[in-house]
Structure 1
Amino acid sequence: MDHDLADFAIELAMAARQETLREQPGGHNAQDKSDGGQYDPVTDADRAAETVIRDMISRKFPHHGISGEEFAETLGQGSIRWSIDPIDGTRSYICGLPTWTTLIAMLDGIDPVLGLIDAPCLDEIYVGGEDGAVLIRGNDRRAISTSGCKRLAEARFSTTDPYLFGSANSRLQRVLDAIRVARFGHDAYAYARLAAGSIDLVIESGLKPHDYYALIPVVRAADGHFGDWHGGEDFASGNVIAAASRELYEAAVELLAK
C-alpha cells in the first residue's frame, strides 16, 4: 500500500475521533432522516466528522473527488475519489455501544484501493491496501490476516440485523442452520474482525456504497474474499458476502442460491 496515503487516512480517522468522541456514549440527540421510512438516524457528530474529513482531503488533495453519507458529492478532476461514512453503526452510537466505526476509502475509478475501518471506542484502526492489512492499537502496529476457515460448519458468522433481510430471511436461516455460531449487531466492525481472524463470514443485505467501499480493501488485503450473493462483484443491490477464504465464500453463495 502507499504508506503516505495510508498514514493520511489514519490522520483523517484521528481527526474524526475528535468529533465522534466529544460527547459521552449514549448522550447523542439523533434525527431521523428517513422521511417516514425505516428509521435512519443521524447525529450532529456524523455531520461534524464528515465535514472535518472533507476539509482535510480538500486541502491536501484539491483535485480529488469526495463522496460521503451526509453531504452531496464533490466532483474531482481525475480518477481518484474518497468515500466517507463518518459513523457506521449510528444506532450503536446513540445507544452507547462501542463497536460503531468510521469508514474511509480511496477509490481509483470504481475500484476501492485503500480502506480504513476505525473503531474509536476500542482504539483500533484497520487499514488495507495492495501490500496487506494491518491493525493499529495505540503504538502497536501488526499485520493481520483472516482465519482461512473453509467450511460453513466451522464458521463464526455475523450480520448486522437479521430483520434487514426481508424476503430473503429464509436464505439467512439456511446460513444460520449451517454455521457454528452467530453474532449480530456489529455493523462494519464485523468485517474488521473478519480481517483479523476472529470472525469467518459476514453476509449483509441492502448496503450503500459508503457502507462497503472501505471494507473491500481491508478484507481482501487480509487474504479474505469479498463478493456479491451470486459469485460475482455486482454490489448495486448492496447484497454482499465477506469470507475468510474463497472456499467459504463459494459455500455461502451455494447455500444462498438454493
Structure 2
Amino acid sequence: MHSDTDLISFADRLADAAADVVLRHFRDAMDVDNKLSEGFDPVTIADRGAEQVMRALIESTYPDHGIVGEEFGSVRADAEHVWVLDPIDGTRSFITGVPLWGTLIGLTRNGSPLAGMMAQPYIGERFAGDGKRAWYSGPKGKRDLKTRACSALSDAVVFTTTPALFSPVERVCYDRIEEQARLARYGTDCYGYCMVAAGQADLVIEAGLQSYDIVALAPIIEGAGGAVTTWTGGSIMDGGRIIASGDKRLHDIVLRDLSRCPAG
C-alpha cells in the first residue's frame, strides 16, 4: 500500500524519464507525422518515446495501476488508480521550437482526479497539485501556487490555445466572453492553466479537449484556489468544453454565459 505522498512523488520520476526523451529532440530536426486524414494533428518520435518510458516505469513500479495515454491508449482503465498521460501537450509549439508545451501527468483514484503535474523540462519548471494545495519549482525556486482575485470579467486576462478549437457556434459564445475581458492571449496550451494557478492570469476557455489534456491540470488549478469544470458546470474527467478560473466568482459569471451555448 502506497501513500498519496509516495504516488505524487512518483510523478516527478515520470517527469524525469519523459524529459530525458523529449529534450533530445526539442529544436532538433525530426520527422512529424499527422494523425488525421483531414486536418493536422502532429505527433513525433518525442511524443511516442516519452509516453513509452513513462508507461514502462508505471508498469514496473505499480503493475496494478491503470494507464490512459494519448499515444498508446488505455490499459486497466477501471483500476482504482489510473495514470493519465500526455507526453507533450502542445506538440505544435514543440515542433516549431516554442517552449509553451509540457508533459502532463495526472493520477485519478476511483474515477476522480487525485493529483497532477505539468513539467516543462526545457525551462526547468514544474507545476503540481493535489486539489488541496498546489506548488511550483523552477528557476525562481520553490513556492506554493495561489490564484489571484478577479471577480469581474472586465478585469480578467483570458487564455485559449486557439479560437480554431471552437465550432462556429462555440466561437460566437467564446468571442462574447473575450470582448468583455481586459486581455486575451492565444497559443498557451497547458501553460495557460498553470499561469492561472500561478496568479498571472484569470481564465482559460477551451473546447474539444480529451481527458489527457485536462485531468493533470485540474488538481493544480483547484489546489491553487481556482475552479475547473465543463461549460455546463460538470466534471472534466471526459474532457470536452472546459472553463478554468482562478476566482470562483469569475467562474460563476462565465458559467452563466457559456452554459447556454449550444453544442456543435
Q: TM-score range by the shorter chain?
A: over 0.9
Q: Does 1:92 align with 2:93?
A: yes
- Where does the alignment leave 5 or more consecutive residues of structure 1 unmatched? none
Other-structure match for 1:224: 226
Contact 1:27 1:94 in 2 (8 A): no
Contact 1:119 1:189 in 2 (8 A): no
CA 1:235 to 1:72, structure 2 compared with 1: closer, same or farther past 3 Å? closer
- 1:131 is displaced (CA, Å) by 4.0
Other-structure match for 1:241: 243
| Deviation by residue 1:138-196 (Cα, 9 ceiling, x = unmatched) | 69321111112121111111000012112211111101111000110010110011111
CA 1:138 to 1:59, structure 2 compared with 1: closer, same or farther past 3 Å? farther
- 1:130 is displaced (CA, Å) by 4.2
CA–CA separation in structure 2 for the residues paired with 1:235 and 1:82: 13
Among 169, 172, 194, the residue aligned to 2:171: 169
CA 1:147 to 1:158, structure 2 compared with 1: closer, same or farther past 3 Å? same
SS of the aligned residue for 1:73 comes to strand
Contact 1:148 1:224 in 2 (8 A): no
Identity %, equivalent residues: 37
Other-structure match for 2:27: 25
- 1:14 is displaced (CA, Å) by 1.3
Other-structure match for 2:136: 135
SS of the aligned residue for 1:63 comes to coil
- 1:77 is displaced (CA, Å) by 7.7
| Deviation by residue 1:123-142 (Cα, 9 ceiling, x = unmatched) | 11011004410001169321
CA 1:80 to 1:156, structure 2 compared with 1: closer, same or farther past 3 Å? same
CA 1:77 to 1:225, structure 2 compared with 1: closer, same or farther past 3 Å? closer
Q: Give the TM-score normalised by structure 2.
A: 0.92
- 1:3 is displaced (CA, Å) by 2.6
- 1:234 is displaced (CA, Å) by 5.8
Q: How does 1:32-181 map to 2 (within 5 A)?
A: 32-34=34-36, 36-75=37-76, 78-137=79-138, 140-167=141-168, 168-181=170-183
- 1:4 is displaced (CA, Å) by 2.0
Other-structure match for 1:205: 207
Q: Aligned AA for 1:215? A: L
CA–CA separation in structure 2 for the residues paired with 1:86 and 1:249: 29
CA–CA separation in structure 2 for the residues paired with 1:73 and 1:108: 15
Q: Aligned AA for 1:195? A: A
- 1:231 is displaced (CA, Å) by 2.5
Q: Give the TM-score normalised by structure 1.
A: 0.94
Contact 2:165 2:207 in 1 (8 A): yes
- 1:60 is displaced (CA, Å) by 0.9
- 1:255 is displaced (CA, Å) by 2.6
| Deviation by residue 1:100-132 (Cα, 9 ceiling, x = unmatched) | 010001111210111001122221101100441
Among 182, 194, 197, the residue aligned to 2:196: 194
